[in-house]
Chain A
Amino acid sequence: MGKGKRTCVVKSQERLAEDVYSMWIQAGDMVQEAGPGQFISVYSKDGSRLLPRPISICEIDRPAGALRIVYRTVGEGTREFSEYGQGESVDILGPLGNGFPEVSRNKEVFLIGGGIGIPPMLELAKSLTCKKSIILGYRDTLFLNQEFEAYGDVYVATEDGSAGSRGNVLDAVRDHGLKADMIMACGPTPMLKAIKAYAEEHHMECYLSLEEKMACGVGACLACVCQTKEVDHHSNVHNRRICKDGPVFRAEEVIL
């Protein structure tokens, strides 16, 4: 019935930085429905790790029926995934959630990624035909930044100043005097909070991709909620499910 959990095959795996890996998955027809900002649930083969890891889709190759995820090894589950070689099976569910909206050609957009929030911005950068300024924030080591260059002007910020602007993504925006009509962003909550405030101040339309610990990934368990300004029609309280109603929300509807 409909979408489902399926066993797929790893096409390739590559290490991009000390703890950041890139995996291409032969995922079949499910990639046809996938869009930028959506995620997949990836399941461990170890029965002691029950919950799927939600990982954003970094790239979609529809003709090849393949998906790319770029993820950080933060615990045993993601460490297990990083050890999968070409030909290894991998259980996934998806595509899940609602991604970024389409944007008309005449708009100018900031695509902002911070840390492991950078990967989903790559497919978004590929898919948007409007004018894009791509701003990427890192702690120190860069990854994926060169791949973005084909799709727009790329500006980098690092916390230690080892590359690009010293500081965060908004420091890079200010350093380069960048302007746009709209923001689309994914990254750690403090970054999203600052971007939300920046967008309000500059009267910019803004979409944020949020993250929270998830269990089911499909909207049933109510683990991954975010606070909302208005009462949500589904929950009937001031929160929404990140996995099912998001992960991308209009900035003004959520309270970070």
Chain B
Amino acid sequence: MRKTSVNIAGVELKNPVMTASGTFGSGQEYGEFVDLSLLGGVVTKGVSNVPWPGNPAPRIAETYGGMINAIGLQNPGIDVFVNRDIPYLRQYDTRIIVNVCGKTAEDYVGVVERLAGEPVDLLEINISCPNVKEGGIAFGQDPKAVEAITREVKNHAKQPVIMKLSPNVTDITATAKAAQAGGADAISLINTLTGMKIDIHKRAFAVANKTGGLSGPAIKPVAVRMVYQVAQAVKLPIIGMGGIMTAEDAIEFILAGASAVSVGTANFHNPYATAEIIKGIEEYMERYGVQDINELIGAVR
């Protein structure tokens, strides 16, 4: 039996494949296609202290090999989330990673404190959403702000904290080091790259927010490079993401230094993507005689 389990900040995942926040809701919808118990973990859609209505539509546009989204972190708020979504996910044998968003440090802390007594395995702090005016990316682009918000969240969090970094920075290692200095237990990257699409027939922006976050295979080489750079710069476990469509893509991130991966946009193209990637990783291990997936983490230096 080959070992596919990985460890993120003391939490064992049965395999390194998770869902990318915002693409998978809280699992209910894709639970009709994939047995969630197969997954290493489900990373939920970002949740805030109060309900957020999100941005006006159109909220998405397809681009070559990718898509732009500007959902604006619509979510039902922490109370509905705790009462409805956590019990749903608890039915499955998978890790629950809650993505937390906020406009102020107090917002993040409020959600984190509310989750302290809940059966949640890990917290992923979203300081990198490009589609909300306050909070989000405002916390994620300045290393000093990253360190401060990380420390503040860590002071109140009961579960290990993953800081989700933005690729929309000059030096990804600076924000990664800042998260580490603030006491983060793990890092996830990359969030989407800020992009824009113009509809030339309507002579208008393709998404109502004008800009949006670019995701999908178009951004994968950028994401792999950043995962590699961060893996060289910090000691924290890394959850890699950005355009993973196949097991081969996932393995690329793991070889670059990711202990786990998140699958996002691929779900829209193939609702079975997560399960197929898990199977494909096992086949890769079989083919190359890899006994323990941990041998692959950061193996290309």
Contacts and interface: CB of A to CB of B under 8 A. Distances in A.
A225 B54 contact: yes
A224 to B, nearest CB: 7
A5 B66 contact: no
B65 A213 contact: no
Interface stretch (B7-15, B28-36, B254-262, B292-300): B28-36
- Closest A-B pairs by Cβ, 5 of them: A236-B76, A220-B29, A220-B25, A223-B60, A237-B53
Interface string A50-75: 11100000000000000000000000
B74 A5 contact: no
Interface stretch (A18-26, A41-49, A113-121, A150-158): A41-49
Interface string B50-79: 011110011111101111010100101100
A48 B71 CA distance: 22
Nearest to B71: A222
A5 B67 contact: no
B80 interface: yes
A51 B68 CA distance: 11
9 contacts: A1-B34, A2-B32, A5-B272, A50-B268, A51-B62, A212-B58, A213-B59, A222-B45, A225-B59
A17 interface: no
B57 A215 contact: no
Q: Is the interface of A mostly helix, strand, loop or mixed?
A: loop
A191 interface: no
Given A215-B67, A222-B25, 11 more contacts: A5-B270, A50-B265, A51-B62, A51-B67, A93-B271, A213-B59, A219-B28, A222-B54, A225-B59, A236-B80, A237-B51
A216 B23 contact: yes
A50 B76 contact: no
Nearest to A221: B23
Contact of B29 (A5, A49, A216): A216
A226 interface: yes
A212 B57 contact: yes
B60 to A, nearest CB: 4
A4 to B, nearest CB: 6
Contacts of A216: 23, 29, 267-268, 271
A238 interface: yes
Interface of A: 1-5, 43, 47-52, 77, 93, 212-226, 234-239, 244
Nearest to B58: A213
Contacts of A238: 53
Contacts of B45: 222
Residue among A48, A221, A223, A239 with max Cβ neighbours from chain B (10 Å): A221
B269 interface: yes
B135 to A, nearest CB: 17
A47 B23 contact: no
B60 A237 contact: no
Contacts of A218: 29-30, 32-33, 271
Nearest to A51: B62
B103 to A, nearest CB: 16
Given A2-B33, A3-B32, A47-B217, A222 B58 contact: no
Interface string B258-299: 000000010111111000000000000000000000000000
B24 interface: yes
Contacts of A235: 51, 74, 76
B70 to A, nearest CB: 9
B41 interface: no
